[in-house]
């Protein structure tokens, strides 16, 4: 087992060694590509700075050289231009004196300048370009940029040295241990090949499974579509059954509500009719048919023809129906009654005045004629009267309305 571990460590160390060698080669190539030409300049910063100072001085000298040339031209031309051309304001002795004096001054100025022969023959633009290239080597960040990779390279070399030492220790294994390790490697390679073959078979099975899953998805889609069609037909039948059930339900509900309302109206009519009709018991019961028609019956249950009734009795029956409808509906609506007591005898008029008009609603408007309502009848209504108006139409084409009491 010690041999196997050592051999395995040897493989790992060699693999790490190879990786480090590749990193070192890449880093050395990078450094070599980055610093092939300017290494001397980076290594001699003082020389670069000295050269920059001399170039700066040379640039100044160039300007002195131009001044030197100008002074030589002036020595040649200026004395003659000033003193040898007419007019001559000076005599000959004075002209020679000033001419010699001017030449001496110009020669003295030239002698203070650097001799032209000592100046390097470079154009000022060329000098500035060289200075610009050299100045960048005096910057600390440029030097730092070039040497950043050096610690990394040194670290890689240190790691490689340690790996070499470990490999040297591992190489001291016996021949038998190395032989067993090689056999183990052969077996491992065999198993790896078998694993590769199994993975290939597994990949084929996955492809086949994917194909079967795709086919199954198509089949499921077809089945789902058919199920939806079946469900749609079933839903349609179900909806139709529900619609028929709802129709029957609402028909029955309508009939029940109709029957209930009919019974309530019938009970109300038979409750209020004896209150208004007190003269005789000719009508024992008023029945409401399914079509809401009124059928009058005597005590023996026989149907009475409405043509046998007087006009007053018919009016009382109609008034009773209105009273019953108002009570059953539960709605409190204004009621307007024109000629309220016409065709009704005195006894039943009193019933209407005492029992009906005060109770039929919160707002009742009665439009009686002066022949219908006398002072006795008026006294019966007076406790319930809120306001009174007199309507007169003497011309027949317009009505005057005045708020005033009848009596």
Nearest to 31 by CA among 133, 147, 137: 147
Round to whole Å and give the CA distance between 95 and 101: 10
Q: Tokens at residue 188, please?
A: 């491992």
Instruction: Report the DSSP beta bridge partners of residue 389.
Output: 403
Choose the weakest-confidence range: 26-35, 309-318, 341-350.
Answer: 26-35
What CA–CA distance (Å, rounded) separates 385 from 372?
Answer: 17
Where residue 271 falls among pLDDT bands split at 50, 70, 90?
very high
Q: Please check the confidence at residue 197 and state whether its pLDDT lies above 70.
A: yes
Helix axes 175-276, 2-34, angle to 10 degrees: 80
Q: Which fold has domain 332-407?
A: Rossmann fold (3.40.50)
With beta carbons less than 8 A apart as the criterion, state whether 262 and 251 touch. no
Lowest mean pLDDT among 9-13, 80-84, 391-395: 80-84
Report the pLDDT value the prediction gives residue 116, as an integer from 0 to 100: 39
Name the helix (H) or strand (E) containing 389. Answer: strand 389-392
Tokens in use for 272?
A: 């209020």
Tokens 């009124």 correspond to 294
Distance CA 74, CA 107 (A): 10
In whole angstroms, give the CA distance from residue 326 to residue 259: 18
- pLDDT, tens digit (0-9, with 9 covering 90-100), for 124-180: 666 666 666 666 555 555 555 555 666 676 777 777 777 766 666 655 556 676 677
Q: How far apart are CA 299 and CA 168, in angstroms?
A: 137
Whether this prediction's pTM lies above 0.75 is answered by no
332-360, pLDDT tens digit by residue? 888 898 888 878 888 888 888 898 988 88
Predicted pLDDT at 23: 74
Strand partners, 402: 390
Spell out the domain ranges in the chain: 2-173, 332-407
d(CA 325, CA 261): 10
Read off the pLDDT of each residue in 107-130 and give the average, rounded to a whole number: 56
């Amino acid at each position: 087992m010690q041999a196997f571990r050592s051999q395995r460590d040897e493989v790992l160390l060699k693999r790490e060694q190879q990786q480090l060698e590749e990193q070192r080669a890449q880093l050395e190539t990078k450094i070599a590509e980055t610093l092939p030409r300017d290494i001397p300049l980076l290594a001699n910063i003082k020389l670069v700075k000295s050269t920059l100072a001399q170039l700066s001085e040379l640039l100044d000298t160039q300007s002195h050289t131009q001044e030197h040339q100008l002074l030589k031209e002036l020595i040649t031309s200026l004395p003659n231009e000033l003193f040898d051309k007419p007019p001559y304001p000076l005599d000959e002795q004075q002209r020679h004196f000033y001419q010699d004096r001017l030449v001496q001054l110009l020669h003295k100025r030239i002698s203070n300048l650097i001799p032209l022969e000592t100046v390097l023959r470079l154009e000022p633009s060329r000098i500035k370009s060289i200075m610009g290239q050299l100045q960048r080597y005096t910057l600390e960040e440029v030097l730092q940029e070039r040497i950043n990779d050096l610690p990394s390279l040194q670290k890689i070399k240190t790691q490689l040295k340690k790996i070499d030492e470990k490999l040297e220790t591992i190489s001291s294994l016996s021949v038998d241990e190395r032989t067993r390790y090689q056999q183990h490697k052969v077996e491992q390679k065999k198993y790896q090949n078998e694993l590769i073959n199994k993975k290939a078979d597994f990949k084929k099975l996955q492809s086949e499974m994917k194909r079967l899953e795709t086919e199954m998805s198509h089949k499921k889609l077809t089945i789902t579509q058919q199920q939806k069609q079946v469900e749609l037909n079933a839903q349609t039948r179900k909806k139709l059954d529900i619609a028929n059930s709802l129709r029957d339900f609402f028909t029955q509900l309508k009939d029940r509500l109709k029957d209930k309302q009919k019974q309530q109206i019938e009970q109300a009519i038979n409750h209020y009719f004896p209150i208004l009709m007190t003269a005789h018991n000719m009508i024992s019961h008023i029945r409401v048919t399914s079509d809401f028609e009124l059928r009058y019956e005597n005590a023996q249950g026989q149907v009475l023809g409405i043509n046998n009734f007087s006009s007053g009795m018919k009016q009382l029956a109609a008034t009773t129906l209105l009273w019953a409808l108002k009570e059953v509906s539960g709605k409190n609506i204004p009621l307007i009654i024109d000629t309220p007591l016409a065709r009704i005898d005195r006894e039943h008029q009193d019933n209407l005045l005492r029992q009906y008009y005060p109770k039929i609603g919160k707002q009742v408007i009665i439009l009686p004629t002066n022949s219908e309502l006398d002072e006795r009848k008026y006294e019966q209504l007076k406790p319930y009267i809120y306001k009174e108006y007199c309507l007169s139409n003497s011309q027949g084409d317009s009505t005057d309305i005045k708020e005033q009491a009848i009596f």
